[in-house]
Amino acid sequence: MTISQGSTAPGRSEETARRGTPAPPPPVRRITVLFDADCPLCVALSGWIARQPTLIAVDLVPAASPRARNRYPDLDHDATLRELTVVGGSGEVWSGAAAWVTVLWALRAYRGLSFRLGTPLGMPMARAAVLGAARIRSATHRGPLPPDPDGNPYREPWTVVECDDACELAH
């Protein structure tokens, strides 16, 4: 696409284009939740999500399924089996606690909670909830869980928790 001198991209003012400020990302109007179909907890939660009134379109797709691989060929599908993954309509990808916050953001009754959990003070609570769900998942999963990405056969997948400076875990 060629833009002639003096014209701007849709949604950008000439001043913004002149400064070189990137255009804002498009609004998220649809998300796809990739869930583990061999996990009873994950299946139950996907059913719960399906019954909730939503503010945007929410698609529920089994992780690493032919449908998921066809829809998102560049996604690491092994990773989607290890951790809840949400894909936005423009290709944004969230996983783990951020994915759960994104799911809550899409649900009418839980958008306010998503705003609270998405803050630096709320994200540790979201991570703790995801860790609790992962422990249940490891106890109820049908079949073997995906291997640890670091190749450690003795580490349970539910113990993999990524923290930043604002996250502390009590031992």
At 68, the pLDDT band (50, 70, 90 cuts) reads very high
Structure confidence at residue 61 (pLDDT):
97
Average confidence score pLDDT of the chain: 79
Side chain identity at 61, as an amino acid letter? V
Q: Is 96 exposed, middle or buried (0-12, 13-18, 19+ CB in 10 A)?
A: buried
Q: Is the pTM higher than 0.85?
A: no
Angstrom CA distances, 22 to 7, 9, 19, 88, 90, stand at: 15, 11, 9, 19, 16
Angstrom CA distances, 82 to 4, 56, 97, 162, stand at: 47, 26, 13, 13
Q: What is the DSSP string of 130-161?
A: HHHHHHHHHHH-SSPPPPPTT--TTS-GGG--
At 13, the pLDDT band (50, 70, 90 cuts) reads low
In this prediction, residues 30-58 reach a mean pLDDT of: 93
* Each residue's pLDDT tens digit, 85-107: 999 999 999 999 999 999 999 99
Backbone angles phi, psi at 54, to 5 degrees: -115, 160
Structure confidence at residue 139 (pLDDT):
75
157 and 143 in contact (C-beta within 8 Å)?
no
pLDDT higher than threshold 50 for residue 74: yes
Backbone angles phi, psi at 35, to 5 degrees: -125, 155
Structure confidence at residue 75 (pLDDT):
95
